[in-house]
Amino acid sequence: MAIPIDVEVGLSDLMKRRTARGYQQSAWIKRHSLPVISFRINMPGPVKMNHASLKVMNAGLQAVRKICAENGWTIIGSQKINEKTGPEAMICIQVPSATLLKKAMMEIENTHPLGRLMDLDVIDAEGKVISRQGVQLPRRRCLLCEKDGKLCARSRRHDLSDLMAVIEEMTHDYECYA
């Protein structure tokens, strides 16, 4: 199926997708009884599926595979989901603990050149989301200023065009210099 690129989505689309994602996550955990990474892209504005978000997804999947290989963790299964609500992936990992996996995912989020645009959630074998706060790491900063990114997004502190310009630049630089 063709990827629905540059389509605007609304809150109801995102809510519907969130519900579907929850069911998919539960099904994966039930099937494998192992931690699952739910990978999504941070993309501001009404277009979630675009060339930038697809680039970030591919770079992130590479980084996940690399960190798993380095740690000797086996990827049991993975699935890409390309809906208009943005690229997503679910990855099931044979790992000694979900907390270890979360720490590795946060290393990617914090050190990868595009990590700031990646949301690598980890859900443990009981279906519980391991949060950043749960492993005592600070919330993530905004793309444009020093404040908490979630607060800037909620208050729409910045122009969408400024945010998109930064994202374009990040993904362009990554492609050219990585």
Binding site for Zn ion (CB under 5 A): 142, 144-145, 147, 152
For residues 45 and 156, give the distance between their C-alpha atoms in angstroms, rounded to a whole number. 10
Shortest CA distance to 103 belongs to which of 125, 73, 134, 128? 134
DSSP summary character for residue 127: S
Q: Which is nearer to Zn ion, 57 or 142 (CB)?
A: 142
Instruction: Give me the least distance between CB of 158 and Zn ion, in Å please.
Output: 6
For residues 177 and 52, give the distance between their C-alpha atoms in angstroms, rounded to a whole number. 16
Instruction: Give me the least distance between CB of 141 and Zn ion, in Å please.
Output: 8
For residues 33 and 93, give the distance between their C-alpha atoms in angstroms, rounded to a whole number. 10
Q: Which is nearer to Zn ion, 76 or 166 (CB)?
A: 166
Shortest CA distance to 154 belongs to which of 44, 59, 29? 44
Closest residue to bound Zn ion by CB: 142
For residues 142 and 94, give the distance between their C-alpha atoms in angstroms, rounded to a whole number. 33
Instruction: Give me the least distance between CB of 155 and Zn ion, in Å please.
Output: 9
For residues 174 and 119, give the distance between their C-alpha atoms in angstroms, rounded to a whole number. 18
| Phi and psi at residue 94, to the nearest 5° | -85, 105
Q: Which is nearer to Zn ion, 68 or 143 (CB)?
A: 143
Q: Which is nearer to Zn ion, 159 or 175 (CB)?
A: 159
Instruction: Give me the least distance between CB of 43 and Zn ion, in Å please.
Output: 16
Q: Which is nearer to Zn ion, 27 or 145 (CB)?
A: 145
Instruction: Give me the least distance between CB of 176 and Zn ion, in Å please.
Output: 26
